[in-house]
Amino acid sequence: MFAKNIITGLLDSILPAHCELCGESTNNTLCRNCDNHLPRIKHCCEVCSLPIDAFTNSEDEFDLCGECLIHKPDFDKLIAPFIYKDEVAWLINKFKHRNRAHYGEFLAEHLQAELKDHLNVNEKPDMITSVPMHWTRLLFRGFNQAELLARSISKNINIPYKTILQKKKRTAKQQDLQRNVRLKNLRNAFRLTENIEGKFISIVDDVVTTGATAQTLAGLLVDAGARRVEVWALARTPKPE
């Protein structure tokens, strides 16, 4: 795997730069046309960023999805620039499972651009952390994609990164599980490694699907005294049609 990554890096430095989707010549990961056509979130829940075309509570001060209207999550806000589908899903999966680190860097730049519209200079997080992986999965994959994203964002927006969460037990993969099963699957799976009372903390992840992981981690932080918790992700999965 290491040798393969070296060869890939050498080829990237020798071959002409091209768009990873259409093959057109460009100095960036994607050409401007492909970048402009990535599925971005335009209308979403004010709390969990669930992509929604129309809201039924238009007279309210905020637009919330049905789940957040019934029971707001423990995190205060979820921020994500993209809908997890089509080209975005392809890029994220290549980043995670094919060691395409530059895809992650490209997507993280879009997340950082999204954050500029949300971060108040007087109310920045005290720290950034990431969704942890169990050590067995980390050993198999070789890296934690959420941590790579978090460290990159931390450096670029000058907010310290800290590893304050640990996954203490291996759980079944979440992808094919319903939300209630995901929550049960994650019960007592994480622990906090330091005192965060009174802190504003942002948790970075790659994709938020049902929000079960975000809710579990946010609940852990809130119970430990965090005054505000935000979740920052590359993409949010829409509800199935």
Clarify whether residues 6 and 115 are in a common domain.
no
**Given this model, what pLDDT does residue 52 score?**
85
Clarify whether residues 26 and 114 are in a common domain.
no
Clarify whether residues 45 and 100 are in a common domain.
yes
**Given this model, what pLDDT does residue 2 score?**
45
| DSSP letters for 72-122 | --SSSEEE-SEESSHHHHHHHHHHHHS--HHHHHHHHHHHHHHHHTT--TT
Task: Round to whole Å and give the CA distance between 176 and 172.
Answer: 10
Residue 205, domain member (yes or no): yes
pTM score: 0.85
Q: What is the pLDDT of residues 209-235, one digit of tens each?
A: 988 899 999 999 999 999 999 999 999
Q: What is the pLDDT of residues 88-106, one digit of tens each?
A: 999 999 998 888 888 989 9
**Number of domains the chain is built from:** 2
Mean pLDDT of 72-78: 95
Residue 124, domain member (yes or no): yes
| DSSP letters for 157-204 | HT--B---EEE-S----STTS-HHHHHHHTTT-EEE-S--TT-EEEEE
Q: Which residues contact 42 (CB under 8 A, 6 or more apart)?
A: 51
Tell me how many degrees the CA angle 31-97-43 measures, rounded to the nearest 5: 55
Clarify whether residues 73 and 15 are in a common domain.
no
Q: Which helix (H) or strand (E) holds 218?
A: helix 212-223
Residue 120, domain member (yes or no): yes
**Given this model, what pLDDT does residue 152 score?**
93
Percent of the chain at pLDDT > 70 equals 81
Q: What is the pLDDT of residues 54-69, one digit of tens each?
A: 544 544 555 899 889 9
Residue 241, domain member (yes or no): no
- List the domain range (segments joined by +) for residue 136: 39-236
